Amino acid sequence: MPKKKRPAAVTRKPRRFLKAAIVLTCCLLLVPVIQVAGIRYGDPPTTVPILLSGSAKYEWKNIEEIPAVFLKHCLVAEDQRFFQHRGFDWREMEIATNEAGAKGKPARGASTITMQCARSVFLWQGRSWVRKGLEAYYTVLMETLLSKKRILEIYANVIEMGDGIYGIEAGSKHHFGISANLLTREQSAILVALLPNPRGRNPKHPTPALLARQKMILRREAGYPFPVRLLR
């Protein structure tokens, strides 16, 4: 018996669906590229966390106006191999995993400055796999399209430094009543010490744990080779 042909309408539907899925996927992948390319040349007027907060203090500061000591404190506390890796510090991730296995606890965070910057500009707080996947994609794009200097500049301006307080300038004014360029070493270190838990810590009423973290940052600062030439 001759083989029956499928109706044309039946074969077209899967093809149309496949084409639509491909177009949609390409668009979704392209949007982050455009977003990251945009902040290569222009300072972000706002961020997703700021928009979600509803009310926030946010004031941009060019990297030349940010104290070098604050940038150094961010590096020694949050990402000492920032200038060596391409967005993911695999060595630090391995250390965190081994420590967790030895202690029988969940692995501590090993987010780089680029990863933190990605979620502080484009994403929301949370631990879902969707957010982690997007964070990884934005991290790759930022390391590809932006210089290390630009990433560090954006990071210093968008990190949360209190409930509804974003960036070094807003953080300095909120906690100490001064502009960022007037921060002392001790004030800079304690602001950076807030970063793992900015809403639960207060430099005006520091806990022993916060003071201990501040001392650790000041101690590490002394031996950290800050690559000033890379920020010119």
Q: What CATH number does residue 190 fall under?
A: 1.10.3810.10
Q: What is the pTM of this model?
A: 0.86
Taking only the tens of pLDDT, the chain with its 232 residues reads 555 555 555 556 677 777 777 877 777 789 999 999 999 999 999 999 999 988 889 999 999 999 999 999 999 999 999 999 998 888 887 777 776 566 665 555 679 999 999 999 999 887 788 999 999 999 999 999 999 999 999 999 999 999 999 999 999 999 999 999 999 999 999 999 999 889 888 898 999 999 999 999 999 998 887 776 665 5
The reply to whether 9 falls in a domain is: no
The reply to whether 19 falls in a domain is: no
Beta strands in 9-139 (DSSP E): 57-58
35, with CB counted inside 10 A (0-12, 13-18, 19+), is middle
Rounded to 5 degrees, φ, ψ at 48 are -60, -45
* Both structure tokens of 86: 């391409």
* Beta-bridge mates of residue 166: 58, 160
* Both structure tokens of 149: 């200097």
Residue 212: its pLDDT value, please?
96
In terms of residue numbers, what domain contains 170? 46-231
The reply to whether 89 falls in a domain is: yes
The reply to whether 133 falls in a domain is: yes
The reply to whether 12 falls in a domain is: no
The reply to whether 114 falls in a domain is: yes
The reply to whether 103 falls in a domain is: yes
Q: What domain count does the chain have? A: 1
DSSP 176-209: HSS-GGG--HHHHHHHHHTTTSTTT--TTS--HH
Residue 105, CA distances (Å) to 77, 100, 112, 196 in order: 22, 5, 21, 18
The reply to whether 1 falls in a domain is: no
Which run of H or of E encompasses 227? none
